[in-house]
């Protein structure tokens, strides 16, 4: 047995909770027309997984494409309002179709439409997580989609950008063991070498990122770029990730049996806890703190807190308690954390030692700009 095959099999053992993401290209046969046979096959596979004791959540694209079909459009509209209209028309069709596919198996589905804002604030973040846990506990299959009809209205600030990323955030939110991204892509292809699908990826490196390409679909928005980003988020949260061709017969059952073709990404060695997952993936970064080489090394290698002495600049507008990014001297962001000072208070402190700060500002009760317990290294 080859090492890659052995690693693939070990990465999917003991899976109990699965998030299945389906792209528009898998769910539709042509623009605006659902592939009913594919939906029925996927529903039957999910029903089979449930008989094996697995919990399943579905993240389903397709609303915009279905709306395009109902409205007689053959190309994705360029105007935001038209895209929102397509999503609003198509969403009910999508959910109704999913329920029809699951009904023969005695399974009830629940529709959840999410925006980034629904999982950003801590209270709503927990509320969404608790709702998903309740649905799963009752044997209901959640069908989740980005709320495209409203999420991009505010200059796209609330959007996930693609259901690939949404699926990885859902996997992180519910602490899934496996994220299966089913699309028209057979996996990550080694375009720089063999031209074949890479069966197993232990870590997403710059070389792996260079193999990604965008989407050529008239209805889709993602591509391998967003799938790799999704894989990065989910693996950091401790999940195994699979990317494969969604119309392969029995693809999910084969995957859980270790026989599916496609690419498997190994879960991170140290999964983030709930607080760190929230900092790393769900919060918007409100600024960037650039640090010197010594501070970067201390944060990466020693797990230190970030002190003012190691910070060379602070960009953005942020308040105490907000999440900011941390960049090395080359401008590469390598961490995120909750900052303890607002920007106006922080700027005069940059480059100063704790002793200098204490002498000049005796009113300050803490010296860490970001405490190590609230700092997350990103993909290292």
What is the token pair recorded at 214? 């965008």
Q: Which residues pair with 17 in a beta bridge?
A: 55
- Residue whose C-alpha is closest to residue 306's, from 278, 335, 282, 329: 335
Amino acid 280: pLDDT: 83
Tell me the C-alpha distance between 49 and 252, whole Å: 8
pLDDT value of residue 158: 42
Q: What is the pLDDT of residue 218?
A: 39
pLDDT at residue 281, as a whole number: 82
Q: How many residues does the chain have?
A: 380
Q: Can you tell me whether residue 200 is helix, strand or coil?
A: strand
Q: Could you please report the per-residue DSSP string of 30-93?
A: ETTEE-HHHHHHHHHHHHHHHHTT-EEEEEE--HHHHHHHHTT-SS--SSHHHHHHHHHHHHHH
- CA distance readout (Å), 227 to 58, 166, 187, 196, 301: 16, 10, 10, 18, 29
Both structure tokens of 278: 């929230």
Top CATH class of 285-377 equals mainly beta
CA dihedral 372, 298, 238, 266 (to 10 degrees): 180
Task: Give the number of other CB atoms < 10 A from CB of residue 346.
Answer: 20
> How confident is the prediction along the chain (380 residues), in pLDDT tens digits per residue?
355 556 777 777 789 999 999 988 888 877 677 888 899 999 999 999 999 999 999 999 888 888 888 898 888 888 888 888 888 898 988 899 999 999 999 999 999 998 877 877 778 888 999 999 999 999 999 999 888 666 554 334 445 556 888 899 999 999 999 999 999 989 999 887 788 999 999 988 888 888 875 444 433 445 788 899 899 989 988 999 999 999 999 999 999 998 899 999 999 877 788 788 888 888 889 999 999 999 999 999 999 999 999 999 999 999 999 999 999 999 999 999 999 999 999 999 999 999 999 888 888 888 899 999 999 998 65
Return the beta strands (E) in 202-320 as ranges.
Answer: 240-245, 263-265, 287-291, 311-316
Helix (H/G/I), strand (E/B), else coil: 175: coil
Query: Residue 361: which of 342, 344, 348, 343 has the closest Cα?
Result: 348
The domain segmentation of the chain, as residue ranges, is 3-272, 285-377
Going across the sheet that includes 287-291, the strands are 311-316, 287-291, 323-327, 333-338, 375-377
Question: Exposed, middle or buried, 82 (CB in 10 Å: 0-12/13-18/19+)?
Answer: middle
DSSP class per residue in 321-335: T-EEEEE-TTS-EEE
CATH topology of domain 3-272: Carbamate kinase (3.40.1160)
């Amino acid at each position: 047995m080859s090492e890659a095959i052995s690693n693939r099999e070990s990465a999917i053992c003991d899976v109990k909770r699965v998030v299945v993401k389906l792209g528009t290209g898998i769910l539709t046969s042509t623009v605006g027309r659902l592939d009913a046979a594919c939906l029925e096959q996927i529903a039957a596979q999910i029903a089979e997984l449930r008989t094996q004791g697995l919990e399943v959540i579905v993240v389903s694209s397709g609303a915009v494409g279905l709306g395009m079909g109902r409205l007689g459009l053959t190309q994705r509209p360029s105007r935001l309002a038209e895209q929102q209209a397509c999503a609003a028309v198509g969403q009910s069709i999508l959910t109704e179709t999913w329920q029809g596919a699951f009904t023969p198996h005695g399974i009830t589905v629940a529709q959840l439409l999410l925006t980034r804002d629904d999982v950003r604030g801590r209270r709503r973040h927990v509320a969404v997580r608790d709702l998903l846990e309740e649905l799963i506990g009752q044997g209901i299959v959640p069908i989740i989609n980005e709320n495209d009809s409203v999420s991009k209205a505010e200059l796209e600030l609330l959007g996930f950008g693609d259901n690939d990323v949404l699926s990885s955030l859902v996997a992180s939110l519910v602490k899934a063991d496996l994220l299966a991204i089913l699309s028209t892509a057979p996996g990550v292809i080694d375009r720089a070498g063999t031209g074949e699908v890479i069966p197993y990826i232990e870590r997403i490196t710059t070389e792996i990122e260079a193999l990604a390409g965008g989407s050529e679909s008239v209805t889709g928005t993602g591509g391998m770029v967003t799938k790799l980003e999704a894989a990065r988020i989910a693996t950091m949260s401790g999940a195994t990730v699979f990317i494969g061709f969604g119309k392969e017969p029995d693809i999910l059952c084969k995957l859980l049996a270790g026989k599916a073709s496609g690419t498997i990404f190994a879960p991170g060695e140290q999964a983030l806890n709930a607080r760190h997952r929230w900092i790393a993936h769900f919060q918007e970064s409100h600024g960037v703190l650039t640090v010197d080489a010594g501070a970067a090394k201390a944060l990466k290698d020693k797990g230190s807190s970030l002190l003012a002495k190691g910070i060379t600049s602070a960009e953005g507008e942020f308040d105490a308690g907000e999440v900011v990014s941390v960049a090395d001297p080359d401008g590469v962001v390598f961490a995120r954390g909750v900052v303890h000072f607002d920007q106006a208070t922080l700027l005069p402190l940059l480059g100063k030692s704790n002793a200098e700060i204490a002498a000049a500002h005796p009113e300050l009760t803490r010296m860490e700009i970001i405490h190590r317990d609230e700092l997350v290294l990103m993909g290292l």
